[in-house]
Structure 1
């Protein structure tokens, strides 16, 4: 077990003109740790996620990622090609809308296989066998491997997107409202599946959600954001059971009253 974090973030800020996207966010993420970033719509959590995953470049601040060789690299000093390679191999990104994270006009098997090809796999039989294995892990029947995602339900699409992201054994996965827009019963199954996969694979993950139940189920640690700033952070159970910031208290109490 390493005694160094996987990701170091320092004073990260993103401004849209005079509007604050996120401001002065600092934290470390450790291997195998799941961090939930919670807050209402407009709190800055998605802006932060997009900066961390290099989909957006911040206005100021740094984020350094520990590569597989143990060396830290400053993400925003990498070339675009280097960042793209990281996204295809060492990282995953699970979108709220699975259509944003899938190729809807190719088969389920091809969606999973593309990620394997990005890390150098070329043997068709091996790629297909791995795709079958991963579809089963996310509870998609083998006989659907040649079906396009357009033929799948929302929950199945989301499970396929998860398989596509995890098949390369990434060390860090970004999740943007992974259960948003799904029926409650589908959400519950998906959360159980995600929790099992994240724990079993020892993944580090950053999960953006407005749903405190999702944060409690998936994460060990959480940050609460309001107006682009972190107002409270700590162990998830502590933050939810003993919230200290007035805004966090309001969030927790509003859930309890529903």
Structure 2
């Protein structure tokens, strides 16, 4: 078995309590290179807590997350030093936030936002950094002539595309996405989803996407994990789960009886 046959990310019995309140409990799954996993559920289901745990933004109450590093060795993320975790977030991982303002440096130009990630992986030649940033702006459908404009002058959809360029320019192996189309107009959502799907496929990214929108999950993901009250209640291939859900709660989600 080669390293590529092993999971990229492995969660085992991942649990988080906020005092007496349960965030999530006993979440176990594997994610492989090139695979897109959607985590769905209504507000308060634990999906955002799970994403924060996987990205090491929260420490778990119990459980572990193994990540296969570039040297092929799988390490428990919660035993890494703070410097090692920050390095992963700057290089091997991307995190596309629900609000692009949380994922961008709003006081830095569009080109600077993309260039910062390149510098984190050792790029130092200003001309090459600028050329790569310009190329990536074009790839996410932002006019490269706006390379020196500030994100505050961009629309919500443009900011989200800039955030995607910033995250993907270093060719990360794993990308976390937290409701990436939430709050955008329907037409803007559709274009953004097409863009994300194309780039994920082209770059062979592993993605964990949290969403309450089952249409987003169907369009982007290979597998789906349904959460309720902090626990995973159903998981499987996306089309299989959405077309023939076993659990009554999933059936309600699919029929849109529950509010998102």
TM band (smaller chain)? over 0.9
Alignment partners' CA distance in 2, 1:10 and 1:73: 13
Aligned-pair CA distance for 1:114 = 0.2
Structural mapping, 1:57-206, within 5 Å: 57-206=59-208
How far is the alpha carbon of 1:255 from its aligned partner? 6.6
Secondary structure of 2:45's aligned partner: coil
Report what 1:241 is aligned to.
243
Q: CA deviation at 1:15?
A: 0.3
Q: Distance in 1 between matches of 2:55 and 2:83?
A: 14
Report the secondary structure of 1:222's partner residue.
Answer: strand
Distance 2:86 2:157 in 1: 27
The TM-score with structure 1 as length reference comes to 0.98
Compared CA separation, residues 255 and 30, structure 1 to 2 (3 A) = farther
Q: Which secondary structure does the structure 2 equivalent of 1:254 belong to?
A: coil
Residue 168 of structure 1 aligns to a residue whose secondary structure is coil
For each residue in 1:94-148, what CA deviation from the matched residue of structure 2 results, as whole angstroms up to 9, or x when unmatched? 0000000000111000000000000000000000000011000000001100000
TM alignment of 1:19-58, pairs within 5 A: 19-58=21-60
Q: For structure 2, which runs of at least 5 residues remain unmatched after alignment?
A: none
Separation in 2, partners of 1:157, 1:3:
36
Alignment match of 1:215 (pick from 214, 217, 220): 217
1:226 aligns with 2:221: no
Deviation (angstroms), 1:254: 1.5
Is the CA contact (8 Å cut-off) linking 2:40 and 2:210 kept in structure 1? yes
Tell me the distance in 2 between the aligned counterparts of 1:37 and 1:88.
Answer: 23
Aligned partners of 1:58 and 1:109: how far apart in 2? 36
The partner residue of 1:7 within 6, 9, 19 is 9
Please report how far the alpha carbon of residue 256 of structure 1 lies from its aligned counterpart in structure 2 after TM superposition. 11
User: Which segments of structure 1 move beyond 4 Å, counting only runs of 4 or more?
Assistant: none
> Post-superposition shift, 1:175?
0.2
**Could you list the per-position Cα deviations for residues 186-220 of structure 1 after superposition, in whole angstroms to 9, with x for gaps in the alignment?**
00000000000000000000000000000000000
Structure 1: runs of 5+ lacking an equivalent? none
Kindly state the Cα deviation for residue 253 of structure 1 after the two structures are TM-superposed. 1.0
TM-score by length of 2: 0.97
